[in-house]
Amino acid sequence: MANSILSAYSNSDVNTFQKDLSQITRVAVGIDKHFGEGKFTVDSQIEKFENLIGDFNKKYKGAKIKLKKGVDTIKVKFFIRQKDVKEFFAESASKLQGLRSVGRSNPNQINVSDAEQFAGFLDSIIDKLFLSYLDVDNGICSFGAILDRNEKMIELQFSPVEVVNENSAVFKVCAFYALKSGMDRKIDIYNEASTFGFSNLLNEIEKREWLEKYNPPFLR
């Protein structure tokens, strides 16, 4: 993890976070699917999942997950304990390799290769930032960082498929903040999440359906 924003953390802690976040994401996908299909067991699963999220938030002091229930969807919202979007960019997002473009409403408005426009954009950042990274092995990863004034934290908006990839830019940002304030190793997220019994995260067909239905609008 040399020259990485995660280099201050042990490989073991980063791997634990990756496993925990992957399990949380997997369960969220499974519950959302059952909820949309009107499965009668979903209420008990949601209550159990809310308890699991509570444990996750206790384990990782630098991040917070909240469950958002819609009419026919269940989604998780991921927050980091940072209140300044410009500072967020300076301390983490700007230090990741492969930054390709940025924007105020989508990540493809300004190419970082245009130094003058890019510098002007950085000066104008207030409460919202969208970023796109290019990795030769994993392709493009895009995500948003939006200040939630009620939560007094920044919400990270991302594709669930991308965030479970430990090499993606958005995973590294999530891990950086989640681990920044320490981790309670006594709390077991991974094995508890395994008791939900859902299958692997997404097959290829489900992946396409998920990306179409649930990605933030700026990623479509």
Please give the pLDDT value at position 214: 45
Q: What is the helix (H) or strand (E) element at residue 206, kind and residue range?
A: helix 204-214
CA–chain centroid gap for 107, Å, is 16
**Residue 97: both structure tokens together:** 């390799």
Please give the pLDDT value at position 220: 38
- Do the beta carbons of residue 100 and residue 134 sit within 8 Å? yes
- pLDDT per position as a tens digit, 73-86: 788 999 999 999 99
In Å, what is the CA distance from 21 to each residue of 17, 35, 83, 207?
6, 21, 22, 17
- pLDDT per position as a tens digit, 134-148: 988 878 999 999 999
Give the pTM: 0.87
- pLDDT per position as a tens digit, 32-56: 887 766 665 677 788 899 999 999 9
- pLDDT per position as a tens digit, 166-188: 999 999 999 999 999 999 999 99
